[in-house]
Amino acid sequence: MNVRIEASWKEVLQTEFDKPYFAKLTDFVREEYKHGRVYPPAGLIFNAFDLCPFSNVKVVLIGQDPYHEPGQAHGLCFSVNDGVQFPPSLLNIFKELKSDVGKEIPQSGNLSHWAEQGVLLLNATLTVREHQAGAHQGRGWEEFTDAVIRILSEKKDGLVFILWGSYAQSKAKLIDPKKHYILRSAHPSPLSAYRGFFGNHHFSLTNDYLSKTGKSIINW
């Protein structure tokens, strides 16, 4: 199957695109966009990959589902479009960022500048129906994104994997801990942020590791 995605990702993921599950997933997603409101906009489904080519990946931040309200999702986990009010989890991310590295809370919740520096902002499910969190779970996206994580673990060295919350932490089994640096904590959701997300220092720990391994640090 010919999928429109950044060239270096196309090369490493083509075997996934050619599998029967991906054809079935594609049919399902096309029908969803035809018959209802689905996020992100169709042209931004693979935005995380397009902004962060395979060759550039240094950090992988794993989310679960795109935002499901109008105007929010644009294909990057935890990120929202310019001018959109911060969802609670994103606001908590910015609070921890300020506490950890002193970065002031920004005007925009758009994290594209992280992606462009080598942070793959990967949701496990890449599409969602409007107002219906989790509506596209169990349709094949997880099989695809698990393959992405596995391929990154196998083909790259010295990546930082940031796993916030039990769902993201369940993906640790796909990652070789001998080759990569895995950071785990509670999720930034208001329900769990005070149970281990705040004070995790993941932003500074990521940059410390990147610096020690000879990579450029992330300007969060």
Catalytic residue status for 65: yes
Amino acid at 124: A
Burial group, residue 4, by CB count within 10 angstroms (0-12, 13-18, 19+) = exposed
Pairwise CA distance, residues 71 & 79, whole Å: 11
Residue 40: which of 108, 116, 136 has the closest Cα?
Answer: 136
Q: Find tokens 């410390």 and name the residue.
A: 208
H/E stretch holding 185 reads strand 181-185
Structure tokens at 72: 């929010």
Calpha distance 123→139 (Å, rounded):
14
For 146, the token pair is 């698990």
Catalytic site residue from 18, 27, 50, 65: 65
Query: Do the strands 128-129 and 160-164 form a parallel or antiparallel pair, or are they unpaired?
Result: unpaired
Q: Which residues have C-beta within 8 Å of that of residue 204, sequence separation ≥ 6?
A: 100, 101
CA 119, distance to chain mean position in Å, is: 8
Asked if residues 135 and 38 have their Cβ atoms less than 8 Å apart, the reply is no
- Catalytic site positions: 65
